[in-house]
Structure 1
Amino acid sequence: MYKHSANEQRVLQIEGAYNVRDLGGYLTKDGRTTRWGVLFRADGLHKLTEESHGALVNKGVRTVIDLRHTRELEEKKNVFADSDKVNYHNVSLINPSAVGNAQIHSLGDLYINILEGSKAELLQVFSLLADRTDQATLFHCAAGKDKTGIVAALLLDLAGVPHETIREDYALTASCIAPIMEELRSDRPSSVPEEIYENFLGSDPINMMDMLNHIESQYGDSEGYLLSIGMSDEQVQALKAQLLKVEY
């Protein structure tokens, strides 16, 4: 069953998952606040109990976007994949073996690589998000850190949340996934050396800043990036409306 944490209901205590977080409650640069209960980020959902499954549905989740690779899906099936309670979508953003790419030296490099190399997949993800403005959506990967962190950062930046706050949201993963670090280490692809893989298990906020700085220098902001990959202005505005409280 879920319960609200002391962190203003940010982190949901879900049996079987460790990094389920609400993107609501963040102040924007123009003084508005992101909405609670409409967008959730998470780690793997393959261990959810039936009660936890029901708790997320009761929380309003009607769409689940699984960002994991095919190998991850086969080994750790999503409990929502066959659910009649939610719309389940899988959009694989990157193969876990990509961390062994000689051109990728840090998580920041990896995130930029995904931004530039997985534009079609990110367009699919954000089109799904823009089409679900009347219901809550949860998106996740294995740790809720990298692929999930990219999507969360783009959303928060689109809403006008300061970069420093986005960095803090990203860094919050470290404490959330501490109980499953050994499991994550055991998921290392055999093609990736242990010492390299270990470097990619952290949540140093400098990596998120590298990505945000890249977006700013190349596209202006996340809105510019999303428009560049094929989203319409109507879709972008729908996402903003979903993210932000209505001001009267």
Structure 2
Amino acid sequence: MVKTYCMCKEFWGKLFTSGKSPEPASQIAMEPQYNIPKLVATDIRTQIPNDIVDNVMSRPPFVAIPGVVNARDISEHASGSSQSPVRPGFAYRSGALEKVSPEGRVFLIRQLGISVIFDLRHQGERMQSPSPDIEGVQTVWAPYTCTPVPVDPRDFAHGDEGASGYAKMYLEIMKVSAPIFQKVFEHIRDAPREPFLFHCSAGKDRSGVLAALILCLAGSPREAIIHDYTLTRIGMEAHRPSLTKILQFHTGSGAGPESIGMLQLCNVRANAMVGFLPAIENSFEGGVEGYLRSHLGFNQRDLDIMRANLKVPTFN
């Protein structure tokens, strides 16, 4: 069986920029500051202490929607960055919403101003875990263009931390999810005053692909896109026990390509986005803009409007 690692106190101390464990809240004037790059690089088999997860997820860009995991604003402005071209309070991402509490529904509407939710899941997932009916909020869904090519764990075992496997899988997502992606970008173009949220199941892969496309269109730097993606490692900590059980079931005690690939598939690595971003450029003439034109049917004027709306809304 795959060993579930229990990290020592010294390791977690290194996750603080100060190199020290945080003092109790009553003894400090400021919240502890964490080394986020090291934190998000934590192997999925390793638990991140609950107090650290709770603290990080209580701050922007994360938003605490009761009953919803991995929810956050995709704008880096939400966390105080002045480098993000995307305005805060417009585009949110998360995991599935079927367990959203009554308080969470109110939060979505009153605190975030969400008017539209885009469900990126396939029909089978929606039947198994139906989207909640939230009064005053429209849920938008569209079927896949075709049945996705099955994921082969061996594609993630090529010595590049799964980068090539993720590039292949994420390009497939761009193909099969084109109808719902088109609806999201239409919303960005046509409704700049209406904040929206998009989600898949865990808020990792399909949501990660869509977030990357939006951020690329807006002109976000590569580092910001990768950072947004890797924050999912913290956001999905609540799912970690389930993921490790799946991992143990599929890998057993083996060390072959399938076992190695499953580990990379369950992890959240920067290399996934490092491999995916150039794959977009190599697969579509004009990169993200080329994809939006050739596969989603937008023209240059549409792209210019969407880019402007992601930064500063244009009201007619």
Q: Which interval holds the TM-score relative to the shorter structure?
A: 0.7 to 0.9
* 1:158–1:221 Cα contact (<8 Å) kept: no
Of 77, 85, 105 in structure 2, the residue corresponding to residue 53 of structure 1 is 105
Gaps of 5+ in 1: none
Shift of 1:57: 0.9
User: What code does the residue aligned with 1:36 have?
Assistant: P
- 1:115 is aligned to 174
- 2:33 is aligned to none
* 1:61–1:138 Cα contact (<8 Å) kept: yes
Q: How does 1:217-232 map to 2 (within 5 A)?
A: 217=282, 218-229=284-295, 230-232=297-299
- 1:206 is aligned to 271
Partner Cα separation in structure 1 for residue 91 and residue 224 of structure 2: 17
* 1:156–1:166 Cα contact (<8 Å) kept: yes
User: What code does the residue aligned with 2:114 have?
Assistant: V
- Higher-strand-fraction structure: 1
**Matched residue count:** 237
Identity %: 28
Partner Cα separation in structure 2 for residue 68 and residue 200 of structure 1: 18
* 1:22–1:40 Cα contact (<8 Å) kept: yes
Of 125, 129, 136 in structure 2, the residue corresponding to residue 72 of structure 1 is 125
Cα pair distance change 1:150/1:127, threshold 3 Å: same
- 1:158 is aligned to 217
Partner Cα separation in structure 2 for residue 197 and residue 96 of structure 1: 18
Cα pair distance change 1:68/1:176, threshold 3 Å: same
Partner Cα separation in structure 2 for residue 187 and residue 135 of structure 1: 38
Partner Cα separation in structure 1 for residue 167 and residue 217 of structure 2: 19
User: What code does the residue aligned with 1:153 have?
Assistant: A
Partner Cα separation in structure 2 for residue 72 and residue 89 of structure 1: 15
* 2:166–2:272 Cα contact (<8 Å) kept: yes
Deviations 1:116-162 (A, max 9, x none): 45444433442244333220010000111100000000011111111
SS in 2 for 1:139: strand
Partner Cα separation in structure 2 for residue 235 and residue 23 of structure 1: 21
Cα pair distance change 1:119/1:216, threshold 3 Å: same
Partner Cα separation in structure 2 for residue 185 and residue 38 of structure 1: 34
* 2:95–2:199 Cα contact (<8 Å) kept: yes
Partner Cα separation in structure 1 for residue 84 and residue 155 of structure 2: 39
Partner Cα separation in structure 2 for residue 54 and residue 187 of structure 1: 34
Gaps of 5+ in 2: 1-54, 158-164, 252-258
Q: Which has the larger radius of gyration?
A: 2
* 2:118–2:141 Cα contact (<8 Å) kept: yes
Cα pair distance change 1:211/1:49, threshold 3 Å: same
User: What code does the residue aligned with 2:300 have?
Assistant: D
* 2:70–2:94 Cα contact (<8 Å) kept: yes
User: What code does the residue aligned with 1:245 have?
Assistant: V
1:17 aligns with 2:68: yes
* 2:118–2:198 Cα contact (<8 Å) kept: yes
* 1:157–1:221 Cα contact (<8 Å) kept: no
- 1:242 is aligned to 309
Cα RMSD, aligned residues only = 3.2
* 1:171–1:203 Cα contact (<8 Å) kept: yes
* 2:120–2:206 Cα contact (<8 Å) kept: yes
Deviations 1:61-89 (A, max 9, x none): 0000000111211121222xx33311111
Calculate the TM-score normalised by the size of structure 1: 0.81
Cα pair distance change 1:50/1:118, threshold 3 Å: closer
Shift of 1:235: 2.6
1:35 aligns with 2:87: yes
